[in-house]
Chain A
Amino acid sequence: MRRIFKTTILASTLALTSLSAALPALASADEQFIPLPTYRVGPYASSGTLWWAGLLDYLRYVNEVEGGINGVKLVWQECETEWSTDRIVECYERYKNGKDGAPTAFFFTHSTPASYALIEKAAVDKIPLIDAAGGRTESTDGSVFPYAFPLLLNYYSQASVGINYIAAKEGGFDKLKGKKIVTVYHDSAYGRETQGPMELLAKKYGFENIQIPVADPGNEQSPQWRQVRQAQPDWVFLRTWGVSTPVGIKTAARFGIPADRIIGDVWAGSEADVIPAGDAAKGYQAIAPFPGGAQFEIHKRLKEHILDKGKSDLKDPKFFGSVYYNIGLINAATAVEALRTGQKKFGNRPLNGEEGRWAFEHLDITDARLDEIGFTGLLQKIKLSCNEHEGGGAARLQQWDGAKWNLVTDWVQADRATLRPLIDAKSAAYATEKAITPRDCGNEV
């Protein structure tokens, strides 16, 4: 009996402790609610903890220094998902209608698989899915995908920026003819996403396009890099994720592929990707719509108002300005600017999902506005519309020197004119499959 009593007390205490940790933040109807599918534990925690720190620091800055967005305070609720698609979907379902009367204007998926999983639900629920530099590429076409936003740089543009940079290094697009470009990719929907555009660009510029997959998790890649060495490539495009990136960089070095001939894509270009690779990563370059560094104006403001006052979510200040921290900042800033845009039409009040869509579709962050918010150099200018849900299509290139990322270019624009027909063809096929009548964007206001 005593044992049963003890067990019950212990179980109750454990249950209450975990429940109190999960208790939601209080919200009210005059506040803007933002659900956050975080991942602070699990396999991707090393990137998640920094990402969410950057995002929360900026939201706190807006609330505490700017008094909210035109007086509307931001409130948020984290769901721990371990970057697991089913838990992200669960988080979406729990908070798609807001909380305590505070409406949800958008949902950060921060996950391409989750963006795929939610794309149909969100269109029915009228909740914009925000997945910067991720998501479903054809959802760039907002006439078919009104509630999906692969902001800043979709996967096709990532491939194009990489090729444009290689062309610049080679001395022009005509110099690409006959070159061998090997793409080593994570064998997943994310990794395979650039195969179409690479094929198109290879035909256009005459380079040889070789694709070599690495199966998840990619912690042993000798056979792949042995094939790369046999191909004797001029350049390697590394489209890996997680542990497969540092292992890829180290294995490349072992097979004699110089790091400065490897271009990493967006999700293979953070500190977590190069630090474990040690000296092998020196000279490695990566596409950066989210550049690393704490030299930007917004960092000075955050340091003064958030970090130095002990209000930062960042556990270790040495990661201030890391790539993932800056990804969080940029995601937060684009969302805040979209809400600000929406308030100009709907009034200074919290927005719902439908209004959120309008807000994102009319987002226009100019160079002047980037200056005002302190993001010049860190964020590209963006202009979205009804049928253009990417909005930027550019990235900078950064190079790892063994201790930090150094930006080596200004914004390199993707060849969107070449890629757009491919996107339109895919979105049209999706519309046919799902019997969707595309919106007439000419009539959208």
Chain B
Amino acid sequence: MTFFIETLIGGLLAGTMYSLVAIGFVLIYKASGVFNFAQGAMLLFAALTFVSLREQGVPFAAALVLTVVVIAIGALAIERWILRPLVNRSQITLFMATLGLSFIVEGLAQGLMGAEVRALDLGIQDTPVMFGDIMVSHFDLVAAATATVLVTVLALLFNKTRVGVSLRAVADDTRAALSIGINLNRIWQIVWAVAGSVGLVAGLLWGARQGVQFSLSLVVLKALPVLIIGGFTSIGGAIVGGLIVGAAENLAEVYIGPFIGGGITPWFAYFIALAFLYVRPAGLFGERAIERV
């Protein structure tokens, strides 16, 4: 029983790492209805920028601020040169644009900052913490705490600030928001900058675990089943989805894996997501699209 509980808790904590990645997708989808395929590339770019600055001797806090500035500049550029010319185009057009953007960002990141693997030390020890007989990762606890803080900050941003209210208005009804004078371009710039900053947090935590390298952009694959389960429009859904995926894949690997050859974590998460699609196509907390036909 102890082993089961330990596996379950370990899975739930691992799931918060997936949630961090998924939140970046949710932000952009909520504001523009675009599934941002470039989120992984943005995460890689942000982490690489931070590590490169640290390698140049820039102090931690300054590197963090400078990276956020770079992300904000990137968000302005993306809005100005990619999104604005494509406004009013179909969602698939915007999706394809983000697909192209992901290759550009990945190529730029490697070209400008090098392709070699970099170590990232955030000063968080990846050591075990014992609660009785149950072992929990210290690093995972910090990641979970970070996710909690991040969600709280985002909730405050969206609920208590003028920008947040504007963003919610855009998400609810873009035309109505435009008609009352909300600047859609400005909202997109802010959302992409915030999504990039969320990507930075996720990139730093994942980078500290696996090193900062190209494969960092692939962690988004972990976010997709989370989004399907939690819904594409809910930050709370991303958190719950992450917990479900983390717990399910950990338990499945340990208790089902040995009977079917093991190594089942990547596809098992998608299996769960498909099952959710049958029952709740919009995810647990996603908004159901109702269209007049």
Contacts and interface: CB of A to CB of B under 8 A. Distances in A.
Interface string B110-154: 110011111111000011100000010101000000000000000
B213 A222 contact: no
For the side of the interface on B, what is the size category?
Answer: 35 or more
A46 B115 contact: yes
B215 interface: yes
A226 B134 CA distance: 12
B117 A43 contact: no
Contacts of A224: 253
Interface in B7-58: 7, 10-11, 14, 17
Given A215-B263, A246-B210, 18 more contacts: A41-B107, A213-B263, A214-B263, A217-B215, A219-B206, A222-B11, A222-B14, A222-B137, A223-B254, A226-B10, A230-B3, A242-B215, A243-B213, A247-B210, A254-B126, A271-B117, A275-B211, A276-B120
Interface of A: 40-46, 48-50, 187, 211-217, 219-220, 222-224, 226-227, 230, 242-243, 246-247, 250-251, 253-256, 271-272, 275-278, 280, 315-316, 319
16 contacts: A41-B107, A43-B214, A44-B214, A45-B110, A45-B115, A215-B264, A217-B218, A219-B206, A219-B210, A223-B253, A223-B257, A246-B117, A246-B210, A247-B209, A276-B212, A315-B114
Given A215-B264, A254-B139, A272-B116, A222 B214 contact: no
Nearest to B139: A254
B116 A319 contact: yes
A151 B88 CA distance: 58
Contacts of A46: 115-117, 213-214
B219 interface: yes
A223 B6 CA distance: 10
Contacts, number: 123
Contacts of B116: 46, 49-50, 272, 316, 319
B261 interface: yes
A372 to B, nearest CB: 33
Of B3, B209, B257, B267, the most chain A CB neighbours within 10 A belong to: B209
A278 B209 CA distance: 10
Contacts of B100: none
A243 B263 contact: no
B189 interface: no
Contacts of A247: 209-210
Chain B interface helix/strand/loop/mixed: helix
Contact of B222 (A50, A211, A220, A250): A220
A245 to B, nearest CB: 9
A323 to B, nearest CB: 12
Interface string B67-107: 00000000000000000000000000000000000000001
A166 B209 CA distance: 29
A250 B119 contact: no
Contacts of A315: 114
Contacts of B233: none
A213 B117 contact: no
Contacts of B212: 276
A275 B139 CA distance: 18
Contacts of B213: 46, 243, 272, 276
